[in-house]
Structure 1
Amino acid sequence: MKVNENEWNIGGDEVEVNTSIRFRGDGYFFLHDIQKESGAAFSSLVDHYLKNNTNIQKLTVCVVPEFLKKKDPNCYRLNVKELRLEGPDVYQSILPIIKHNKLEKINFTIRANNLHLLEEPFVKSSESIMLRFPLWDPIPLNNLLLNLKHKNIQIIYFRLPIDEVEKLAVNWKETRRPLGDSFSLGVEEYTYVLDVFDRLQERLGATPSRIEKLGSKYLSHCVTIPICEESELVVFGGPKSLKWPPFEWTLRMEVMPRGSTIAK
């Protein structure tokens, strides 16, 4: 179980009734063995740290233990801002005890066996979504990216074809996505960002520009596609805030107010 930046790993021997608890926090690691069955140890941990109405910035769920499945949603609910799911079916067990109106971001690895999650109301209604595609043999995209209506979309996809970025830019322009909507893609090298610039200039008539609020910094360089009198689509790149090899950079696309960029 991982809550914000604190992580607990509990593994036990049912016969010997020994449980090993590993705790990893900000610059701190703790390992301890106790004379208690692992399910009971996990239950004690949750009862102590995750009381009813606890506010959680980010909850990572791999497995939902039986005692948690039996919690009464009328008496026990958690206020979770970001939910990261690490299994295809765990959402069915954890959702009843999470307040959906507090959920702002959904984060999961997308595969064929959980593609249906994209149609779930709790996913559709979240403001932000992060989809992680397996490095090898990811599911076919088809129109998946075009159908995402979230305000903030984050994608991890190894060597996403530039054709998909072009299709998305065309779609966002034609559908007049609202101001503030953004898309980000983890990429290996900044050269990918430059290749996207070239493609959008060649195919869509994008204008080489710089983002005014970033001044003359190198990372202010971008390309701009007008949407309407009030907005423009700005495509730019920069270092990834949290590097996850091989993804060192981020390609970003954002709908900004008209005039946010200056043509070079």
Structure 2
Amino acid sequence: MEKLDNIRAKPLSYDSQKVVIKSLSIDNRVRLDRRLPDLRVVNTLFPRIIDRMTLTNNGIGINNKLWTFGAVTRTIGRRKVIIPNKTEVRLFRTSTQETVRHLTDQSPEAAYQEMFDAYFKNKIIVRKELTVGPTLPNFLKNRDPVGFKIDTERLNLSLLRFDIWSDLVRIVEIKNLKHLRIEFRGETQGFLDKPEIKHCKTLVLHVYNPFQSLAIDELVDLRNEHLEIQSALFTSDNVETLIEGWIDTRRDIGTSFSLGRETYEDVAEIFQYFVENSGAVPSKHSVCDGVTFAIGNNQDLFMFASENTTEINERSIIETSWFFNMRIIRRETTITNDNKPI
């Protein structure tokens, strides 16, 4: 608040105003809009920068705060009836685990939009992680993308319906993505053919329905540097088909793949499959034990196990404790335990 008080107490030059405003936190920039309307134009010159953002159809998370907007109901007889133009807004602070509630005389959508517009005017830069889905609020679906974009390198997408992608590309700088995680909560096939998905540097695919599988032909067509899959139905045969696709398309050295498995024994079964069916031989690269076999073009495919190092309380409900990994390496390349060539 000190910087805001300085702006009010001491007249600043235009250039000085820009320097001060650019250095403010997002919460202080929102307060600035409310308290000093004369500076609103200058305040809109710079993108709003945050670490984390979550967007769903009924709520938004900004850094360590989460707002939700719910309809207010009353009971008439045995029925619950929604009260028109009445919304309960809940603000949950993750840092203190506190929840604050208040009522507003607006619809949930209108209250959500008012809060969103107070925080974000034009461009948003999300430095660490943007999480979206499974649906977006209507006001964002219909928002004019001219002058408004969310820029991030890391996107988590909870996918229930495929049409959310067309809504996303209007407001998110998809071309800048380097890490994309897709959580399939409905259909799994017919979605991975989009260029921004096929060529994203790191692609992580989580399939929540244990009875649904990913289409192997779509996976073979992917061109990601690293592909990770969490799916109970992804088999050793699927891994073999993926390898054949890599060989046919002459994938680059360093291309890698990880498959979630519950135990080390599950990973070892995949090793044994390739020992018996593809001539893989036990090998050791640096501190990693695994199996290796030649794939031509002076390249080997090295397979090895690794534990999931993500904290348990930060994992999704389907994330496993172990990974089967494979990486294309140059002959005689060594592999460290952090899964990077040295």
Tell me by how many angstroms 1:42 deviates.
2.3
Secondary structure of the equivalent of 2:97?
A: strand
Letter in 2 for 1:61: V
Call closer, same or farther: CA 1:93–1:171 in 2, change over 3 Å. Answer: closer
Partner of 1:249: 322
Secondary structure of the equivalent of 1:116?
A: coil
Secondary structure of the equivalent of 1:138?
A: coil
- Distance in structure 2 (CA, Å) of the matches to 1:82 and 1:51: 21
Q: Per-residue CA shift, 1:18-57, capped at 9, x if unaligned?
A: 32324354x5423121233332332244335445332223
What residue ranges of structure 2 are gaps of 5+ in the alignment? 1-53, 56-60, 72-82, 336-342
Partner of 1:40: 110
TM-score if structure 1 supplies the norm length? Answer: 0.83
- Distance in structure 2 (CA, Å) of the matches to 1:188 and 1:20: 40
- Distance in structure 2 (CA, Å) of the matches to 1:16 and 1:229: 67
Q: Per-residue CA shift, 1:171-219, capped at 9, x if unaligned?
A: 323433111211111111111111111111121111211122xx3xxxx
Letter in 2 for 1:81: E
What residue ranges of structure 1 are gaps of 5+ in the alignment? none
Tell me by how many angstroms 1:253 deviates.
1.0
Q: Point out the more displaced range, 245-254 or 102-111.
A: 102-111
- Distance in structure 2 (CA, Å) of the matches to 1:12 and 1:161: 42
Partner of 1:173: 247
Secondary structure of the equivalent of 1:115?
A: coil
Residue 67 (structure 1) aligned to one of 139, 144, 148 = 139
Residue 305 (structure 2) aligned to one of 227, 237, 244 = 237
- Distance in structure 1 (CA, Å) of the matches to 2:214 and 2:265: 25
Secondary structure of the equivalent of 1:160?
A: coil
TM-score if structure 2 supplies the norm length? Answer: 0.66
C-alpha contact (below 8 Å) 1:105/1:129 kept by paired residues? yes
Partner of 2:70: 12
Partner of 1:128: 202
- Distance in structure 1 (CA, Å) of the matches to 2:233 and 2:181: 20
C-alpha contact (below 8 Å) 2:300/2:328 kept by paired residues? yes
Q: How does 1:132-171 map to 2 (within 5 A)?
A: 132-139=206-213, 141-158=215-232, 160-171=234-245
Secondary structure of the equivalent of 1:149?
A: coil
- The RMSD of aligned alpha carbons is 2.7
Call closer, same or farther: CA 1:140–1:238 in 2, change over 3 Å. Answer: closer
Partner of 1:258: 331
Tell me by how many angstroms 1:221 deviates.
0.5
- Distance in structure 2 (CA, Å) of the matches to 1:115 and 1:6: 35
Tell me by how many angstroms 1:222 deviates.
1.2
Call closer, same or farther: CA 1:114–1:159 in 2, change over 3 Å. Answer: closer
Tell me by how many angstroms 1:261 deviates.
4.1
Letter in 2 for 1:238: S
Call closer, same or farther: CA 1:142–1:117 in 2, change over 3 Å. Answer: closer
Partner of 1:192: 266
Partner of 1:52: 122
Q: Does 1:98 align with 2:98?
A: no
Identical residues among aligned pairs (%): 25
Call closer, same or farther: CA 1:4–1:203 in 2, change over 3 Å. Answer: farther
Tell me by how many angstroms 1:140 deviates.
6.0
Partner of 1:118: 192
Call closer, same or farther: CA 1:239–1:97 in 2, change over 3 Å. Answer: same
Call closer, same or farther: CA 1:29–1:41 in 2, change over 3 Å. Answer: farther
C-alpha contact (below 8 Å) 1:4/1:59 kept by paired residues? no
Q: Which has the higher contact order (CA 8 A, sep 6+)?
A: 1
Call closer, same or farther: CA 1:182–1:5 in 2, change over 3 Å. Answer: farther
Q: Count the aligned residue pairs.
A: 255
Q: Which has the larger radius of gyration?
A: 2
Tell me by how many angstroms 1:250 deviates.
0.9
Letter in 2 for 1:83: L
Secondary structure of the equivalent of 2:212?
A: coil
